[in-house]
Amino acid sequence: MKLRVATRKSALALTQTRWVIDALKALTPNLEVEEVQIVTEGDRIQNVSLAKFGGKGLFVSEVEAALADGRADFAVHSMKDLPAKLGEGLAIACVPKREDARDVLITKDGLELDALTAGARIGTSSLRRSCQLRAFRNDLQYKLLRGNVDTRLRKLDEGEYEAIVLAHAGLLRLGLASRPLWPIPAEVCLPAVGQGALALEARVDDVATNMILAKLEDSTTRTCVEAERAFLAMLDGGCHAPMAAHARIEDGERLRIDAMVGAMDGSSILQAGSEHYCTGLDEEELRSTAIRIGRTLARSLLQQGAASLLEEARAEAMRVQQTQS
């Protein structure tokens, strides 16, 4: 059997896709997989924050188009790039086991956040990261940093920044996690929805492909991602506002999720958390519980005032897009 996989052309995307290909081939005799490499709008736009130029869909819509028009049978995404609503007729067919979900602070010497000198330049493309880190260290300069992982590391090494913030999972997958870095505790910076996880997306009606992809499914990761994405969907969230949600199963019996929504300038951060004992639940019951907890957490933040923060962020993103159109 032969399948075609749609993927972005970045080094990280190709590394992740080829890991999936190798894993599927190991589980499926005589399987052939052809890469359909796509340069997305998010890859082409390198000098503007994603929050100000369309959000997460910039990395996904053109890949999903390849599924919709039949050029590809499935796609491999970083889960955190997927918007809350997928393309019509498409679904997340498989969620493999998650890598470390945390962000990491990278400096030349492996310094922790507390050790940076006042005024140090911190490179990040994420409103979520800069908002939370600013609450912890508001005496640092948070500067826009775009480009692939190699480009961002090069800018650090060349002295353009004193530190940069990246996802630990990407560095691990690329074999670049041996350089000095400091994993940022979730108490300081909650990870993005889906960070560290992959999403294998396919057409809902393609039963044969879905059955093959399901062989890589990790039920624990799926449960946690369902909780996080339910939170995201309830808030109609994307990249426009600082937003985070991180779920995990603790001690094998408690599903815990923490979340935040912040102001664009980091002046306000709303936080909430919830947990539920999940022993004795089958997979379907566990996932429905995860979705309910994610939605409940979103409602809690809306009651705290998250709706106004989200509306301000969307209005600002719309204003910027209009001035650049």
What distance in Å separates the CA atoms of residue 41 and residue 59, rounded to the nearest whole number? 7
Residues 58/41, Cβ–Cβ less than 8 Å: yes
Output phi, psi for 90, to 5 deg.
Answer: -115, 155
Active site residue 81: yes
Instruction: Compute the half-sphere exposure of residue 11: CA atoms within 13 Å on the CB side of its CA.
Output: 13
The residue length of the chain stands at 325
Q: Is 13 exposed, middle or buried (0-12, 13-18, 19+ CB in 10 A)?
A: buried
- Report helix, strand or coil for 288: helix
Beta strand 181-183 pairing with 163-167: unpaired
To 10 degrees, the CA torsion angle through 220, 225, 228, 230?
A: -110
293, exposed or middle or buried, with CB in 10 Å at 0-12, 13-18, 19+?
buried
Q: Please give the backbone phi and psi of residue 128, each rounded to the nearest 5 degrees, phi first.
A: -60, -45
CA distance 24 to 212: 7
Q: What is the 3-state secondary structure (H, E, C) of 46-114?
A: CCCCHHHCCHHHHHCHHHHHHHHCCCCCEEEEEHHHCCCCCCCCEEEEECCCCCCCCEEEECCCCCCHH
φ and ψ at residue 31, rounded to 5 degrees: -80, 130
Q: How far is CA 25 from the centre of its chain?
A: 26
Catalytic residue among 22, 69, 73, 81: 81
* DSSP-derived 3-state class of residue 19: helix
Would you name the residues annotated as active-site residues? 81
